[in-house]
């Protein structure tokens, strides 16, 4: 999850909404990365989720469902908002769960 979130952050760094709207490859890439994060979150055990309630597990899995099941009508506004407003806090939360030596990878 952390690796994919970092990829989203890197791909959106310095990117304007106008560029995002005009770049189909970027839109598809971000949707795929968000889907992958959601799939990983879906596979996390209930015990682990319960131990770390600061991670919005339900919202992450719910976003995955939207991207996967609404693939013909993915809301590009929702993908942009997730990529630019929600990924940063997710990275910070996930880094707190990651051993220090793995954070730099």
- List, by residue number, the catalytic residues: 64, 69
Contacts of 95 (CB under 8 A, 6+ apart): 2, 103
Contacts of 78 (CB under 8 A, 6+ apart): 63, 66
Determine how many CB atoms are found less than 10 A away from the CB of residue 22: 10
Number of H helices, E strands in the chain: 8, 0
Report how far apart the first and last C-alpha atoms of the chain are (Å, whole number).
13
């Amino acid at each position: 999850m952390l690796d994919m979130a970092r990829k989203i952050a890197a791909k959106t760094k310095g990117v304007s909404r106008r560029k995002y709207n005009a770049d189909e490859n970027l839109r598809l890439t971000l949707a795929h990365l968000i889907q992958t994060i959601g799939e990983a979150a879906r596979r996390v055990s209930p015990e682990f989720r319960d131990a770390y309630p600061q991670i919005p597990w339900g919202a992450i899995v719910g976003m995955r469902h939207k991207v996967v099941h609404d693939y013909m009508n993915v809301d590009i506004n929702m993908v942009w908002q997730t990529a630019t407003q929600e990924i940063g806090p997710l990275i910070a939360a996930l880094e707190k769960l990651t051993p220090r030596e793995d954070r730099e990878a």
